[in-house]
């Protein structure tokens, strides 16, 4: 898959996860921040969902926020449930 297209795919899945989180009343980590800039190795506007005014923050604050969210994604134990509920089969 072309890396430029991955952002759109994650945006769609991220939107579905957000809706699922609302329905479940559960906090599902935002996978949108997995797509990073080749130059900065940080996410772009996708992080605005998590950290308001993300792009206006210092690079250090952006890196700290990104690190927290990646850790949340790694430690989230219900990804299998999310995949099942979204009708996505693990390959």
Among the residues of the chain, which ranges form H helices? 3-24, 59-75, 79-86
Closest C-alpha among 12, 7, 46, 49 to residue 27 = 49
**Can you give the pLDDT of all 91 residues of the chain as single tens digits?**
566 677 677 778 888 988 999 999 999 988 877 778 788 888 866 677 777 788 888 889 888 988 988 899 999 999 999 999 989 888 7
Q: What integer pLDDT is reported at residue 1 of this predicted model?
A: 58
């Amino acid at each position: 898959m072309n890396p430029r297209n991955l952002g759109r795919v994650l945006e769609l899945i991220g939107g579905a996860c957000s809706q699922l989180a609302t329905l479940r009343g559960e906090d599902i980590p935002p996978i949108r921040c997995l797509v990073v800039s080749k130059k900065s190795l940080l996410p772009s506007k996708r992080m605005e969902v998590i950290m308001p005014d993300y792009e206006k923050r210092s690079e250090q604050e952006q890196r700290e926020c990104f690190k927290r969210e990646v850790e949340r994604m790694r430690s989230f134990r219900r990804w299998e449930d999310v995949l099942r509920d979204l009708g996505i089969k693990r390959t």
